[in-house]
Chains A and B, each alone.
Chain A
Amino acid sequence: MELILTKNIHKLNSESIDVYLSGGGYRSHEKALKTMTPDQVIEEVKKSGIRGRGGAGFPMGGKWGFVPKDDSRPHYMVCNADESEPGTFKDRIIIEKDPHLLIEGIIIGSYAIRAHLAFIYIRGEYVHGYNILKKAIAETYDKGFLGKNILGTGFNLDLILHRGAGAYICGEETALMDSIEGKRGNPRLKPPFPAQIGIFKNPTNINNVETLANVPAIIEKGGEWYSKIGRANNTGTKLYCLSGHIKRPGVYELPLGIPLRELIYNHGGGMLQDDRKLKAVIPGGSSVPVLTADQVDVLMDFDSLQAAGSMLGSAGIIVMDDSVCMVKATHRITKFYAHESCGQCTPCREGTGWMEKLLRRMEAGRGENGDTELLYDVAQNILGNTICPLGDAAAMPVMSFVEKFREEFEFHISNKRCMV
């Protein structure tokens, strides 16, 4: 299989502009700026069928097309590099090992949506990645690929690297916009969508790192070429992140739609300990519903996982063997969302904390009869009742763990200890 996103990462000094150029880099932005109109770029991306890699899976070309064309306001392009979903560590590889692939994608995207100022919003903890990107951006300006009159085409673009400061919610696009504006990262109600009213009240387009890193290849080889990789409506390759009880954890670039079983056993090398059995897998980062061991033949793409009652999300695959107590695992996940709730909506602010307390109590052997139902009920009352998807992200795993491993919760309550 031809690698799109990770083809450079094993090269020596892969993060430098010279290495990127020697591998044919920055030819696509030249092609786009010199031979294509912004609308032709959007058309090519639409043809590729690529869906956003940040979690929601919205078609990228469609999103670019929403940014108004005849509008005198400034337009902004934002790259979401706030990767912080537990189980997900794919964007970091691009940021640290191939920053120019991302920058080239941002330049082409900015041209397509008629933006002259772009931002990369990088999570605060990624200090190393921040320094690498800072250097890469400076190199790009030096070569004249950023700044005024790029390649003599008359197109101007500035790129600001903006550091988050430790808040998971800022990965949600409207909270991210508030954070760029120097505010607390509180999500906004949609509509209006960022394409109409984004940062500084101007049209704004926001894409994930991995999504934008696909753009140079789509422009170089064409949308049709790209659309043949993967499966219908789920095109392209994907960076799958494998972690947990697995022999070879890491990031794997493979086409969308490969079976989860193949990822775990062929690429990931199977269970960490040979005498342990697979118990459960979270396929898309900690916010998506858990799968049981007998569901691992599911195909890893947006539609197949949805049909299986879960989500592809960020493809952060967390593998758990039979030594894991599901009550404890649920507690760990819930603790995260209780900590990261921005506090704006009551169901999420109160509900995540309530779920965490219930699970902590069960874990400590102080669970009471009816706690499992109460836990499920609280989760159900968060679901769909908040401004942003963090509420759903907190509720969905809890509901799925209770639905699929209810006996473990009940056992914990009656026996004051783990079942495993």
Chain B
Amino acid sequence: MSFSPEFERKVGDIIREYPNREAILLPLLYMIQSERGFLSKEDELYAAEKAGVSPAWIRGVVTFYTMFQGKEIGKYLIQVCTTLSCFLRGSDSILEHIKQRLGIDVGGTTPDKKFTLVTVECLGSCGTAPVMQINDDYYEDLDIEKVDEILNSLP
């Protein structure tokens, strides 16, 4: 499990940018995750060595933050917001529809590894609720038809 010289160079850049070695941890974990898709045990050990902290420290950090994935996920990570403002605008039926359509429960991944479905706590898009995030993009003002259109359009 190694990284390209280009990757190592970028790690060096962050180490120089931050006033403290441990502080590179979050940006470093993001970099590894975007390279690998998720964080394996080996990746955690690599991050521990680079940031100069113990493997237990890394474990604590990775499990604390919801955006770090400890296992392989689908090509598209669907995050449906179900917090109050989205709930008031019908997020329950959106979530139910996606579950049925994909045949998976919250936390599940489709057998073809295309979709992983999770719920998320407030995406800060309450004025255009209900909303979901798929990978890096927000989809707002959702209804069932719109959700179908979006899911159909994903290659």
User: Which positions in A face B, CB cutoff 8 Å?
Assistant: 74, 83-89, 91-92, 117, 123-128, 160, 162-168, 179-185, 200, 241-245, 249-251, 282, 286, 316, 318, 320, 324, 329, 332-333, 336, 339-340, 342
User: Which positions in B face A, CB cutoff 8 Å?
Assistant: 17-20, 22-27, 29-30, 51, 53, 57, 60-61, 64-68, 79, 82-85, 87-89, 120-129, 133, 136-138
Contact of A242 among B29, B61, B89, B127 (CB under 8 A): B127
Give every chain A residue within 8 A of B65 (Cβ-Cβ): 124, 164-167, 185
Most chain A CB within a 10 A radius of its CB, from B20, B79, B121, B136 = B121
Give every chain A residue within 8 A of B125 (Cβ-Cβ): 89, 92
Most chain A CB within a 10 A radius of its CB, from B60, B123, B137 = B123
Give every chain A residue within 8 A of B133 (Cβ-Cβ): 125
Give every chain B residue within 8 A of A74 (Cβ-Cβ): 19
With contact pairs A86-B83, A127-B136 given, residues A336 and B126 touching in the complex (Cβ less than 8 Å): no
Give every chain A residue within 8 A of B20 (Cβ-Cβ): 181-182, 200
With contact pairs A165-B65, A184-B61, A243-B85 given, residues A84 and B53 touching in the complex (Cβ less than 8 Å): no
Give every chain B residue within 8 A of A88 (Cβ-Cβ): 124, 126
Give every chain A residue within 8 A of B24 (Cβ-Cβ): 182
Bound Cα distance from A102 to B135, whole angstroms: 26
Q: Are A125 and B127 in contact (CB under 8 A)?
A: no
Bound Cα distance from A241 to B22, whole angstroms: 37
Q: Which residue of B lies closest to A179 (CB)?
A: B26
Most chain A CB within a 10 A radius of its CB, from B22, B24, B123, B127 = B127
Chain A to chain B contacts (Cβ below 8 Å), 6 pairs: A88-B126, A89-B124, A89-B125, A125-B124, A128-B137, A182-B51
Contact of A182 among B25, B121, B126 (CB under 8 A): B25
Quote the shortest CB–CB distance from A54 to chain B (angstroms): 14
Quote the shortest CB–CB distance from A403 to chain B (angstroms): 18
Bound Cα distance from A167 to B66, whole angstroms: 7
With contact pairs A83-B124, A165-B68, A243-B126 given, residues A181 and B22 touching in the complex (Cβ less than 8 Å): yes
Give every chain B residue within 8 A of A123 (Cβ-Cβ): 124
Give every chain B residue within 8 A of A249 (Cβ-Cβ): 126-129
Q: Are B67 and A318 in contact (CB under 8 A)?
A: no
With contact pairs A125-B67, A166-B65, A182-B22 given, residues A241 and B136 touching in the complex (Cβ less than 8 Å): no
With contact pairs A125-B120, A125-B123 given, residues A86 and B85 touching in the complex (Cβ less than 8 Å): yes
Give every chain B residue within 8 A of A117 (Cβ-Cβ): 19
